[in-house]
Chains A and B, each alone.
Chain A
Amino acid sequence: MSKLLNQKKTISPPFWRNRKIIPIILQVVFAIIILALGYLLINNALSGLKQIGIQLGFDFLANTAGFSISEAMIDYQPTDTYGKALVIGMLNTLRVAFFGIILTTILGLIVGLSRMSKNWLLSKLAGAYIEIFRNTPLLVQIFIWFYAVFLPMPKIQEALQMGPMLFSNRGTAIPWYEKNQGILLWGILFLVSFVIAFFVYRLMLKKQIESGKKNFPSLWALGVIVVVAIVSYVVTGNAPVSFHTPTVAGNGFDGGFVLSPGFSAILLGLVIYTSTFIAEIIRAGVNGVNKGQSEAAKALGLKNSTALRLVIFPQAIRIIIPPLTSQYLNLTKNSSLAVAVGYQEIVSIGNTVMNQAGRPIEAIAIMIAVYLTFSLITSLLMNYFNKKAQLVER
């Protein structure tokens, strides 16, 4: 028997049929092909660049940019460097992504809940909204907002007034706050009032549970905040902030906060387009919760809104978070379409740098690096929330 085994060992298959060697050969061949291809491409690029007389490297970032940026969040002059211009582009991307994510979540939640409403008309209205806006390309929507809504607005001298907002082809001015003197005191008192309100809420809730009588804990908490607000108004003599409605003064707006046509178009386009996807995600999440849960909530006598808030939503959120993350990432990536309407975010400024400094490879590498960082940070954050929301099992 042992002799037979020994004999078997000596008859090993030829190496091209050996199950241990084949994978190694395959991988080596694959790696060689990829490396050769990469070498060829990079070699071509390098020799091409040498012909035009450009060297690779990021030292050009310290050179003077020489172009102006209309919406800079930090102080910027055309005499500043390319590096600073790119940082401003990054901040502008973050700005549109930040407001976009907040607004689209709110809008998506409203539309998604309306879609599930028992009211036939409302549900159909939300359905039509979703169908129309998710089946037309985002860029077409942005173009409609930009070229057909915001640019044809009247001249600034004849700005269109709608409520406290002013619309003109120079941009949209919305009311904005301005700090008053007593803001610090207000802030402190407000914080204190929140802490007190929280404890009052807890106390009243405890009493309600013990006595079984309705004690209106949230009304009590609200009352505390209102009382403190009145007290602080009396003490400081004015409100914490005052709202300034914009007015037209000469060739510009006076007061208020001015949104450029490009920013308004990209923000509206992104918010409306993404909200349709979020609405569907929320609907899928709520429908994904076991039917027994809503029946049990009903059996316990919870009313619809309470059941939705306390029973359905905490469970639905587990289904909702992962696709919601990818929608937030999509929104951030889609903000790059701003390049088409002249809102200067990272791709737009990167493009300008690319053309002016003649550094295509470096500029595109920077854009890619910025977006990869955003993606990574967002998915890390959302993974953290996801872990928090996950079901804790035995």
Chain B
Amino acid sequence: MNNEPQINATSDSSVVGPPKNTVGVGGWLKTNLFSGWANIILTIVSATIISYVVFHTGKFIFLADWTVIESNFRLLMVGQFPLEETWRVWAAVFLISALLGSSWGLWRGVMRHVTLVIAGLMVFSLILPFIQTNTRLILVGNIICIFLFYIIGRKVTKLKIPVLLLWILFIPLVISLFNGFGILPKVNSNIWGGFLLTLLIASVAIVCSFPLGVLLALGRRSKLPVVKWFCIIYIELIRGIPLITILFVFQLMLPLFLGNSIEVSNVLRVMVGFTLFSAAYLAENIRGGLQSIPRGQFEAAHALGLNSTYTMGFIVLPQAIKAVIPACVGQFISIFKDTSLVAIVGLTELLGMGQKVIANPAFLGKNMEVFLFIAFIYFIFCSLMSYVSRRLENTLGAGER
């Protein structure tokens, strides 16, 4: 049959040339930056924006007078922590170095990056020109400590449980160290300040709000109407109002509600406020995880004869929490960022200390330098945490079929 279409016939006019080069530097540039007139315009516009911003930021950073950070570095880091008691802070730092090092050795993975970034920050502060010699020595000691415990962690795998326990007990240990264990003189909480206070508030809120959040999430899914409605009202009320009003409530009204009998320090009030606030948000995250567990898991657990407590504790919760860890880390990041709000209620954490510094007439007009430095510190720690969250998302999801 002649009229059948000839599929493979090619005439000279339809010969197609070889495809455009897409490999190599030229090819990459062509496909990613200059593939059409619209793309070229976009490239030019973004290049202009980038060079403008980079040029002006660079100019500011190199020309600005950073002496304000130099002379207030200690204030910004630890506030008015007494000079002769600074060893307590360093002890806490040494403990954390040891923990980080050994966790890196024991678990590798994401801990490696976290530890290396912290060590990198120590090296960075080591080369800052205004750091005193003995501080430098301590920092070198810390870096050595990290690597020493890394080697120990790699060699001795039995350390896993003690290290985990120490991580859990870390915050209570540090706070009781500052309070002197009842033996040493107490460093009053109203002179804790700077970045130290930021870290303390954030970690207390993170550590305490997690179990509370789990309880609230379970309560919200409970079959008991009284418990369920209490949890619903609590969660929705807290989520409906801004954090700053909660801080006001705890700063002004907690003494009123507790009466004259109990004296609560400013720092503790803020910590309680943060914990109760973030527990409501964490509860919603965890509830999402609980809802994602298929019915079959509950039924299988019941078929095995587990009662509801065991079903929750051993079957459902571990899976649910694993599913929502990245979301929870996201919540932890926002708790960390929100600690800056305590500057409004008069505490001198990092941002509050920054406000104190710019109020000092000796540093008039240095607002940008101080706040950029503070923003930089927050940026480093938040980026680190969000990196960890992304890594966890990948590693935890790896087991999924």
Q: A44-B256, A360-B256 are in contact. Are A141 and B375 (CB under 8 A)?
A: yes
Could you say which of A75-83, A237-245, A283-291, A329-337 contacts chain B? A329-337
Contacts of A47 in B (CB 8 A): 259
Could you say which of A9-17, A26-34, A169-177 contacts chain B? A26-34
Task: Say whether B212 faces chain A, with CB atoms less than 8 Å apart.
Answer: no
A143 vs B351: C-alpha distance when bound (angstroms) = 9
> A residues 120-152 with Cβ under 8 Å of B?
120-122, 125, 131-132, 134-141, 143-144, 147-149, 151-152
Minimal beta-carbon separation of A91 from chain B (angstroms): 17
Task: Say whether A1 faces chain B, with CB atoms less than 8 Å apart.
Answer: no
A351 vs B374: C-alpha distance when bound (angstroms) = 27
For chain A, the bracket of interface size reads 35 or more
Residue of A with least CB distance to B245: A367
Contact indicator B245/A336 (Cβ below 8 Å) = yes
Contact indicator B47/A135 (Cβ below 8 Å) = no
Task: Say whether A219 faces chain B, with CB atoms less than 8 Å apart.
Answer: no
A375 vs B378: C-alpha distance when bound (angstroms) = 29
Contact indicator A118/B378 (Cβ below 8 Å) = no
Minimal beta-carbon separation of A341 from chain B (angstroms): 10
Contact indicator A119/B378 (Cβ below 8 Å) = no
Residue of A with least CB distance to B341: A139
Contact indicator A31/B226 (Cβ below 8 Å) = yes
A27 vs B257: C-alpha distance when bound (angstroms) = 25
Contact indicator B32/A148 (Cβ below 8 Å) = no
Task: Say whether A66 faces chain B, with CB atoms less than 8 Å apart.
Answer: no
Residue in B239, B248, B340, B374 whose beta carbon sits within 8 Å of that of A364 in the complex: B248
Contacts of A361 in B (CB 8 A): 253, 256
Q: Which of A45, A137, A141, A360 has the most CB of B within 10 A?
A: A137
Task: Say whether B315 faces chain A, with CB atoms less than 8 Å apart.
Answer: no
Contact indicator A120/B33 (Cβ below 8 Å) = yes
Minimal beta-carbon separation of B309 from chain A (angstroms): 12
Residue in A49, A117, A152 whose beta carbon sits within 8 Å of that of B365 in the complex: A152
Task: Say whether B252 faces chain A, with CB atoms less than 8 Å apart.
Answer: yes
Q: A139-B341, A333-B242 are in contact. Are A34 and B230 (CB under 8 A)?
A: yes
Residue in A27, A134, A364 whose beta carbon sits within 8 Å of that of B253 in the complex: A364
Contacts of A122 in B (CB 8 A): 42-43, 45-46
Residue in A118, A121, A334, A337 whose beta carbon sits within 8 Å of that of B47 in the complex: A121
Contact indicator A41/B337 (Cβ below 8 Å) = no
Task: Say whether A101 faces chain B, with CB atoms less than 8 Å apart.
Answer: no
Residue of B with least CB distance to A27: B226
Minimal beta-carbon separation of A336 from chain B (angstroms): 4
Interface string of A330-355 (1 = CB under 8 A from B): 00011011011000000100010010
Q: A140-B374, A144-B372 are in contact. Are A351 and B248 (CB under 8 A)?
A: yes
Contacts of A134 in B (CB 8 A): 382
Q: How many pairs of residues, A versus B, come closer than 8 Å at their CB atoms?
A: 157
Task: Say whether A53 faces chain B, with CB atoms less than 8 Å apart.
Answer: no
Task: Say whether B362 faces chain A, with CB atoms less than 8 Å apart.
Answer: no
> B residues 47-64 with Cβ under 8 Å of A?
47, 49-50
Task: Say whether B110 faces chain A, with CB atoms less than 8 Å apart.
Answer: no
Task: Say whether B80 faces chain A, with CB atoms less than 8 Å apart.
Answer: no
Task: Say whether A48 faces chain B, with CB atoms less than 8 Å apart.
Answer: yes
> B residues 246-270 with Cβ under 8 Å of A?
248-249, 252-253, 256-260
A125 vs B47: C-alpha distance when bound (angstroms) = 9
Residue of B with least CB distance to A49: B256
Task: Say whether A371 faces chain B, with CB atoms less than 8 Å apart.
Answer: yes
Prevailing SS type, chain A contact patch: helix
Minimal beta-carbon separation of B49 from chain A (angstroms): 6
Task: Say whether B158 faces chain A, with CB atoms less than 8 Å apart.
Answer: no
Contacts of A368 in B (CB 8 A): 237, 240-241, 245
Contacts of A137 in B (CB 8 A): 337-340, 351, 375, 378
Contact indicator A139/B343 (Cβ below 8 Å) = yes
> B residues 330-387 with Cβ under 8 Å of A?
333, 337-341, 343-344, 351, 354-355, 358, 365, 367-368, 371-372, 374-375, 378-379, 382-383, 386
Contact indicator B32/A120 (Cβ below 8 Å) = yes
Minimal beta-carbon separation of B221 from chain A (angstroms): 14
Task: Say whether B291 faces chain A, with CB atoms less than 8 Å apart.
Answer: no
Q: Which of B239, B249, B253, B375 has the most CB of A within 10 A?
A: B375
Contacts of A351 in B (CB 8 A): 248
Residue of A with least CB distance to B384: A135
Minimal beta-carbon separation of B247 from chain A (angstroms): 10
Task: Say whether B39 faces chain A, with CB atoms less than 8 Å apart.
Answer: yes
Contacts of B226 in A (CB 8 A): 27, 30-31
Residue in B35, B224, B245, B351 whose beta carbon sits within 8 Å of that of A139 in the complex: B351
> A residues 48-75 with Cβ under 8 Å of B?
48-49
A138 vs B252: C-alpha distance when bound (angstroms) = 24
Contact indicator B258/A44 (Cβ below 8 Å) = yes
Contacts of B244 in A (CB 8 A): 336-337, 339, 347
Interface string of A285-311 (1 = CB under 8 A from B): 000000000000000000000000000
Task: Say whether B225 faces chain A, with CB atoms less than 8 Å apart.
Answer: yes
Contact indicator A147/B240 (Cβ below 8 Å) = no
Q: A41-B257, A121-B46 are in contact. Are A371 and B245 (CB under 8 A)?
A: yes
Given A41-B257, A347-B245, list of 6 further CB < 8 A pairs? A135-B386, A138-B340, A139-B344, A360-B253, A360-B256, A371-B242
Q: List 11 A-B contacts (CB under 8 A).
A: A45-B253, A48-B259, A121-B47, A121-B50, A122-B43, A135-B333, A136-B378, A137-B375, A140-B375, A148-B371, A364-B252
* Interface of B toward A, CB cutoff 8 Å: 32-33, 35, 39, 42-43, 45-47, 49-50, 223-227, 230, 237, 239-245, 248-249, 252-253, 256-260, 333, 337-341, 343-344, 351, 354-355, 358, 365, 367-368, 371-372, 374-375, 378-379, 382-383, 386
* Interface of A toward B, CB cutoff 8 Å: 23, 26-27, 30-31, 34, 41-42, 44-45, 47-49, 117-122, 125, 131-132, 134-141, 143-144, 147-149, 151-152, 333-334, 336-337, 339-340, 347, 351, 354, 360-361, 364, 367-368, 371-372, 375-376
* Across the A-B interface, the 4 shortest Cβ-Cβ residue pairs: A44-B259, A120-B32, A135-B382, A148-B368
